[in-house]
Structure 1
């Protein structure tokens, strides 16, 4: 009998949800995902100290204000980290656009293009990058433009079916529904209910989205994310991709058992419905209290961690000032 992780790899593409190079080397995922929280954690770990110092030194030689330097250092650092991660995965790395731009379509497009250009200047082609954007209406519109330019995107902080549908209609390459954060909300709202992994609201939502995409021939990849326990992962065996933290990868790699496809039966193909208008999208999202609250919370959380990273870089830049 083989481990659950070995069996899972046969049903879904396994992605590492971390910037920890040791974990990436150990579990040998196909891809890796990052976000401001993971980048901050990696930067604070000490693994990237030399990279941070090198980035600050380069930026310090450029003209501009201190705020400009901090912004430039942040962009260059996340790309440099991504380049290093790509040495250890055969596939792609996801790099996130600043959460502060989540409601600004044009600024998101501009930032995404810059990140891609920095990768290309480092010798990394765009087919090894996914640009991450929050799945706001503005983020989805930015992704639609970028996809047409050959810049493929990972739309993150997916909490509602409306977000997923709008992403598929925009031709987004990949979406990341946040299974565990959905569970967090329902546990707080219903403390007396004990949610079994296979029946968790986030698990059921991912299965619904996956079936809907396949039924209507959308090519958008579904990647379950933000897991709280290995049971959620096992309940989504067969989902296109699953991005998993090192702790849960370790649990799966050290547990034997029998794992089966869990995504349900294929449905008869059907023509997709009329695309969501902006007003319908906003109403459906507004009508879902969980999705509305968790999307806003997620954007605020990513921005808070981005601010901490920027404070770290600002301090180093100020120390170099004459």
Structure 2
């Protein structure tokens, strides 16, 4: 049995891509997207027509509406391939505005429902700022399920659990990147691989906390740099994996053993934590890695959102 099929026996495998034509061969349950992945996709010849189609059909629509329609168009194509859910991201520039995030999320759901997609097949991705988590709390109360992204710390994960969000996406690879950069020439790749990888350790700690306290929020490891990180989190609720790494898993027959165990987590000695806004902000500020990677991630998604907007403008001018 190859590693991909072995992983599927203990973890729900999710594809992290906007390239829906690649999805079928790996047969993931769900798929996740973000502005960077959609930007990458629409610049490929096979996907450029989708962008032009949206611009031509809704030529008089404001730019933010065109953007949402493009994201939903990709989401609908993905849902034609995967049996489960698609994650679609709210504009990262709204990451510090609870009300605007709620409004934009509601709009995305309206567009999906207008396309005949049931509400339970969509997760709205929101950055795990305090304002984003609060928006997710309000959306969950309305029956709109959320995926809290750009999550780098147990602090963020606990606040998400308090908000009763559907799912969180702790970022393994970006945590790894930060610690590797900080260590510089002192970094020992072999010693920090697998279970010792700082990104893997972070997700394991969050998983243990959630399972120990019976928290229903799903944990989906994300942002992987190598297969070793993925295998070290076998047993996690879900793992969202880029097509290149899905291909590597499919090509390997190395063993995959469950590394996370919900039942074992219940036996651990873990103290409960609760955050209000002030204590959340201070605890997150104390974590330099999480603070820096959250800010950096929001900036990067905002840059790619603007690039997508530029492509929509150019398509509109040429229509």
Q: TM-score range by the shorter chain?
A: over 0.9
Bigger drift between 118-127 and 38-47 goes to 38-47
| CA apart distance, 1:307 | 0.6
Counterpart for residue 229 of structure 2: 232
| CA apart distance, 1:61 | 3.9
Counterpart for residue 178 of structure 1: 171
The reply to whether residue 110 of structure 1 matches residue 103 of structure 2 is yes
Counterpart for residue 246 of structure 1: 243
The whole-number CA distance in structure 2 between the counterparts of 1:150 and 1:7 is: 33
Structure 2 residue matching 1:190: 3-state secondary structure? helix
Q: Summarize the alignment of residues 9-158 of structure 1 with structure 2, pairs less than 5 Å apart.
A: 9-62=8-61, 69-158=62-151
Counterpart for residue 65 of structure 1: none
| CA apart distance, 1:272 | 7.7
Structure 2 residue matching 1:32: 3-state secondary structure? strand
Bigger drift between 51-60 and 236-245 goes to 51-60
The whole-number CA distance in structure 1 between the counterparts of 2:270 and 2:209 is: 11
Structure 1 residue matching 2:265: 3-state secondary structure? coil
Please tell me whether the aligned partners of residues 216 and 269 of structure 1 are also in contact (alpha carbons under 8 angstroms). no
| CA apart distance, 1:54 | 1.6
The whole-number CA distance in structure 2 between the counterparts of 1:208 and 1:275 is: 16
1:170-223 per-residue CA deviation (whole Å, 9 max, x = no partner) reads 000000000000000000101212221220111011011001001111000000
* TM-score relative to the length of structure 2: 0.95
Q: Which runs of 5+ in 2 are unaligned?
A: none
The reply to whether residue 168 of structure 1 matches residue 161 of structure 2 is yes
| CA apart distance, 1:259 | 1.3
The whole-number CA distance in structure 1 between the counterparts of 2:273 and 2:295 is: 27
Please tell me whether the aligned partners of residues 216 and 272 of structure 1 are also in contact (alpha carbons under 8 angstroms). no
The whole-number CA distance in structure 2 between the counterparts of 1:274 and 1:120 is: 38
Please tell me whether the aligned partners of residues 25 and 88 of structure 1 are also in contact (alpha carbons under 8 angstroms). yes
Please tell me whether the aligned partners of residues 236 and 262 of structure 1 are also in contact (alpha carbons under 8 angstroms). yes
| CA apart distance, 1:270 | 8.7
Please tell me whether the aligned partners of residues 213 and 266 of structure 2 are also in contact (alpha carbons under 8 angstroms). no
Structure 2 residue matching 1:151: 3-state secondary structure? coil
Counterpart for residue 201 of structure 1: 198
Counterpart for residue 302 of structure 1: 301
Counterpart for residue 266 of structure 2: 267
| CA apart distance, 1:23 | 1.7
* TM-score relative to the length of structure 1: 0.95
When the two structures are aligned, how many residues end up with a matched partner? 313
| CA apart distance, 1:271 | 9.8
1:241-280 per-residue CA deviation (whole Å, 9 max, x = no partner) reads 0000011000000000221110153323899835311011
Bigger drift between 69-78 and 142-151 goes to 69-78
The whole-number CA distance in structure 2 between the counterparts of 1:132 and 1:109 is: 11
Q: Which runs of 5+ in 1 are unaligned?
A: 63-68
The whole-number CA distance in structure 1 between the counterparts of 2:119 and 2:296 is: 30
Structure 2 residue matching 1:60: 3-state secondary structure? coil
CA RMSD, Structure 1 to Structure 2 (Å): 1.4
| Counterparts in 2 of 1:96 and 1:252: CA distance versus 1, 3 Å | same
| Counterparts in 2 of 1:190 and 1:271: CA distance versus 1, 3 Å | closer
Please tell me whether the aligned partners of residues 56 and 73 of structure 1 are also in contact (alpha carbons under 8 angstroms). yes
Q: Summarize the alignment of residues 270-285 of structure 1 with structure 2, pairs less than 5 Å apart.
A: 273=272, 275-285=274-284
The whole-number CA distance in structure 1 between the counterparts of 2:93 and 2:35 is: 11
| Counterparts in 2 of 1:270 and 1:168: CA distance versus 1, 3 Å | farther
The whole-number CA distance in structure 2 between the counterparts of 1:256 and 1:50 is: 38
The whole-number CA distance in structure 1 between the counterparts of 2:254 and 2:199 is: 24
| CA apart distance, 1:129 | 0.1
